[in-house]
Amino acid sequence: MKAYAYVDRIALERLVEIDQPDPVPGEHDVVVAMKAAALNYRDLAIADGDYHIEVQPPLIPVSDGAGEVVAVGKSVRRFRVGDRVCAVYLPDWTHGPIRREVAARRLGGPSNGVLRELMCASEEDFVMAPRHLSFEEAATLPIASVTAWQSLFVNGSVKPGDNVLVQGTGGVSIAAIQLARSAGARVISVVRTDKHRETLYRLGASDVLLSDDPSWHRQLFAVTRAVGANVIVNVAGGETVSDALLAASGAATIHLVGYAAGKMVTFDMFEAIRRAAKFLVAAAGSRASFQELVKLLELEEIRPLIAQRFSVRNHREGMDSLRRGGHLGKVVLTFD
Ligand SMILES: NC(=O)c1ccc[n+]([C@@H]2O[C@H](COP(=O)([O-])OP(=O)(O)OC[C@H]3O[C@@H](n4cnc5c(N)ncnc54)[C@H](OP(=O)(O)O)[C@@H]3O)[C@@H](O)[C@H]2O)c1
């Protein structure tokens, strides 16, 4: 089988095609023919040597993927040949709160990821893909959508009537908009460009505000009848957190998900104290959260948004596109 790997050094220009023997499943293993993979910011961070944990070569990169079960070990109970599955990003985090040791094994770095035609792993490392989604759509779920789910409904508890402020239009942001809306919240998008306004409305945003408009906080308090945002999903970190805090209601929950604008977060403690703000840091989500997410997506027929598709052979173009940004939704690679 073919795979893509960093063999001796981790850097995008060193990602090469390799041949490996086809895997034979152990007693509790399944073999999955990968059909699609989805890119995340971490795939770039790892390639750039700028990730928050150490990752060493050799490595098969990319964390998110979906495919079809083509072989099962003799004691496998959860899956059959022909099942459509998603790989779990943090396979050792099955349920409950995260513990340091279960966060060590991460698909796509430091553990081997999904850029391979056949992935062989324990049956515990997969979940059933939502029935209504294509492989490409299902491949987008493991990090972005599970993180949005875990933040909104496990770390936090979004409920009908909440005002949920979501920053950005990337994978986590789109999932957060769709999930918060399905929970009955009012969703307000704050974005850097006006070009996605109509799509954001279609996905579930009630209001779209521009972050470089100095009056965006005033507009937010106007549309929330002076309450402000009870829940904030911040994907960029850095100084954007202090700006987001000014939109918060009393006792607001602020989910710190990402660091696209900077890993050092600053905010004014006086503003935080005035609101008794609660800051919660996201760390993806458990397999149980993934399974709950799948149920909701099926029930509400929610489809993740794909921004662009590339053949897995053109993974470099996909990575370049992710780096340029400005996309709405996920960048996907297909195995052909
Ligand atoms: N903690 C966790 O478990 C976890 C899980 C998933 C992701 N993340 C992190 O969360 C972030 C978003 O992930 P993603 O998958 O949604 O990424 P993505 O699809 O690549 O989208 C990038 C997002 O970051 C926003 N952004 C980038 N630079 C910005 C800036 N200077 N100011 C404001 N916004 C900026 C973009 O906003 P525009 O739409 O305006 O371009 C977009 O929403 C990344 O940093 C990622 O590493 C963390």
Q: What SS3 class is residue 280?
A: strand
Residues 115 and 67 sit within 8 Å (Cβ to Cβ) = no
> Ligand 1 test: best mutation among 89, 93, 235, most atoms within 8 Å of CB?
235
pLDDT in tens, 55-73: 999 999 999 999 999 999 9
Q: For ligand 1, atom 11, name the residue with the nearest CA.
A: 258
The pLDDT, as a whole number, for residue 260 is 86
Q: For ligand 1, atom 5, name the residue with the nearest CA.
A: 284
Distance 42 CA to ligand 1 centre (A): 10
Q: For ligand 1, atom 19, name the residue with the nearest CA.
A: 170
Q: For ligand 1, atom 8, name the residue with the nearest CA.
A: 258
> Ligand 1 test: best mutation among 106, 172, 266, most atoms within 8 Å of CB?
172
pLDDT in tens, 230-270: 999 999 999 999 999 999 999 999 999 999 899 999 999 99
Six-digit token string for 320: 């370049």
Q: Which atom of ligand 1 is nearest to the CA of 328?
A: 39
The pLDDT, as a whole number, for residue 327 is 84
Six-digit token string for 244: 């987001």
The pLDDT, as a whole number, for residue 69 is 98
Q: Mean pLDDT throughout 31-37?
A: 98
For ligand 1, residues with CB inside 6 Å are 40-42, 143-144, 147, 168-173, 191-192, 235-236, 240, 257-261, 282-284, 322, 325-326
276 confidence band (pLDDT: 50, 70, 90)? very high
Q: For ligand 1, atom 17, name the residue with the nearest CA.
A: 170
- Domains of the chain, first to last: 2-140+304-334 (3.90.180.10), 146-281 (3.40.50.720)
Distance 144 CA to ligand 1 centre (A): 10
Distance 170 CA to ligand 1 centre (A): 6
The pLDDT, as a whole number, for residue 102 is 87
Residues 118 and 35 sit within 8 Å (Cβ to Cβ) = no
Cis peptide before 58 (omega within 30 of 0): yes
Q: Which atom of ligand 1 is nearest to the CA of 211?
A: 33
Q: Which atom of ligand 1 is nearest to the CA of 42?
A: 47
pLDDT in tens, 192-227: 999 999 999 999 999 999 999 999 999 999 999 999
Which amino acid makes up residue 309?
Answer: R
Terminal CA-to-CA distance of the chain, rounded, Å?
A: 13
Q: Which long-range contacts (CB under 8 A, 24 or more apart) does 265-273 make?
A: 265/237, 265/238, 265/241, 266/238, 266/239, 266/241, 266/242, 267/241, 267/242, 268/242, 271/242, 271/245, 271/246, 272/245
Q: Which atom of ligand 1 is nearest to the CA of 281?
A: 1
Sorted by sequence, the CB contacts under 8 Å of residue 75 that are 6+ apart come out as 27, 28
CA dist 313 to 31, 33, 42, 310, Å? 21, 16, 20, 8
**For residue 130, what is the DSSP state?**
P
The pLDDT, as a whole number, for residue 282 is 94
Distance 284 CA to ligand 1 centre (A): 13
185 confidence band (pLDDT: 50, 70, 90)? very high
Which amino acid makes up residue 93?
Answer: W
- What is the average pLDDT value for the chain, to the nearest integer? 96
33 confidence band (pLDDT: 50, 70, 90)? very high
**For residue 208, what are the β-bridge partners?**
189
